[in-house]
Amino acid sequence: MSFLQDIGKVKNSFLSLVHSVRHSPARLHAKYGFILNLIPYLCKRNIKGISKNARERQMRQVMKIKDKSMKWMMIWLCVFLSLLFITILLYISHNPAPPEKNAVVALYSDLGTWEESVQAAEKMFQWMNYTVALVDADYINTKGFENFSILCIPGGDMYQYAQDISSKGMDNIKDFVRNGGGYIGICGGAYFASERVVWRGDQLPMTPLGLFPGTADGPINEIVPYPNYTMCKVGILDPTHPITQSEPDSTWMLYYWGPVLVPNKDANVTILGKYDRVNQPTMMTFDYGLGKYFSSARILKLRRTVNAMR
């Protein structure tokens, strides 16, 4: 019975609500206003809840995009730094370090130089306790030699030297020697320093340095047919000269396509040594302005050479 009574109460309440809606809206609001106010509140709160969830989802998506962007940014940063590091290493490997202020010898090391000749000359100077700095064609073309006492051009391709060292660079070398510097030309460096270069019977179409007033002519087939190489004997002509006074009357050297140095008739030069087999000059020195020139087809014990030029 109680259930039926409850149903009856709900029925009566519903009929009363309908009657109120029809006849007295004010009474409806007074009696059931809290419900009317509650519905918008709950809806508003639900709408806020939905917006909050949406914002949270949006924030999570933004954070994911942000994390992904940061990840790619870090990857590209690592790639950029790696490429920068490699570029710096390549630059350093292809560009010798700038010379030290108190360096004595500027040793040419660039395209065309024979690596073994560069290494042998460098070790020789260092063994004699001289400071050595490697210089390239760009340094010779654009900078002076005020930090140096000696410029050494080692064995190698004299034609390549003439291609890379510009006319300005050659003027820099001449000015350096003329003002008191020393020039040492070894094999290819002796060819390069001459007024004329003859290779295998033909004058090369190149503009040489022109310090030596004469012709560098080689290789010498009477010593060994080109492209072979051999040991050969060199006779010392002036044992009293400061450069050769420590040398015996003759010495042996590796002949590797070096030149015969033929001075012009009016050239004021001192011939220090000749190839024994062909009796032609291979070692020579002379004054050039306030400076000195020395050339040889081989690397000598250069201590006295450097001392004589400083």
- What local confidence, expressed as pLDDT, does residue 59 receive? 66
Flag whether pLDDT at 219 surpasses 50. yes
Task: Kindly report, residue by residue over 42-57, the tens digit of the pLDDT.
Answer: 344 444 444 556 666 6
Sign, CA torsion 215/221/226/232 = negative
Domain spans in the chain, listed from the N-terminal domain onward? 2-92, 102-309
Instruction: Calculate mean pLDDT across residues 218-238.
Output: 94
- What local confidence, expressed as pLDDT, does residue 239 receive? 87
d(CA 88, CA 103): 25
CA distance readout (Å), 144 to 85, 135, 194, 223: 30, 11, 21, 39
d(CA 253, CA 118): 17
151 forms beta bridges with: 106, 183
DSSP per residue over 158-224, as a string?
A: HHHHHHHS-HHHHHHHHHHHHTT-EEEEETHHHHHTEEEEEETTEE-SS-----EEEEEEE--TTTS
Confidence class for position 296, pLDDT limits 50, 70, 90: confident
Flag whether pLDDT at 189 surpasses 90. yes
Task: Kindly report, residue by residue over 121-180, the tens digit of the pLDDT.
Answer: 999 888 888 899 999 999 999 998 988 999 999 999 999 999 999 999 999 999 999 999
Find the distance separating the first CA and the last CA of the chain, reported in whole Å. 133
Instruction: Calculate mean pLDDT across residues 253-271.
Output: 94
Instruction: For residue 68, give the H/E element and its range.
Output: helix 25-94
Task: Kindly report, residue by residue over 108-125, the tens digit of the pLDDT.
Answer: 999 999 999 999 999 988
The DSSP output letter for 156 is B
Instruction: Calculate mean pLDDT across residues 239-253.
Output: 87
Of 13-27, 68-82, 137-151, 263-277, minimum mean pLDDT range: 13-27
d(CA 79, CA 147): 40
Radius of gyration, alpha carbons of the chain: 46
Across all residues in the chain, what is the average pLDDT? 78
Higher pLDDT, 246 or 122: 122
Instruction: Calculate mean pLDDT across residues 193-207.
Output: 97
Percent of the chain at pLDDT above 90? Answer: 53
Instruction: Calculate mean pLDDT across residues 24-44.
Output: 42
- What local confidence, expressed as pLDDT, does residue 298 receive? 66
Instruction: Calculate mean pLDDT across residues 33-49.
Output: 41
Confidence class for position 41, pLDDT limits 50, 70, 90: very low
pTM: 0.67
Instruction: Calculate mean pLDDT across residues 273-283.
Output: 95
What amino acid occupies position 216? A
Fold (CATH) for 102-309: Rossmann fold (3.40.50)
d(CA 250, CA 274): 9
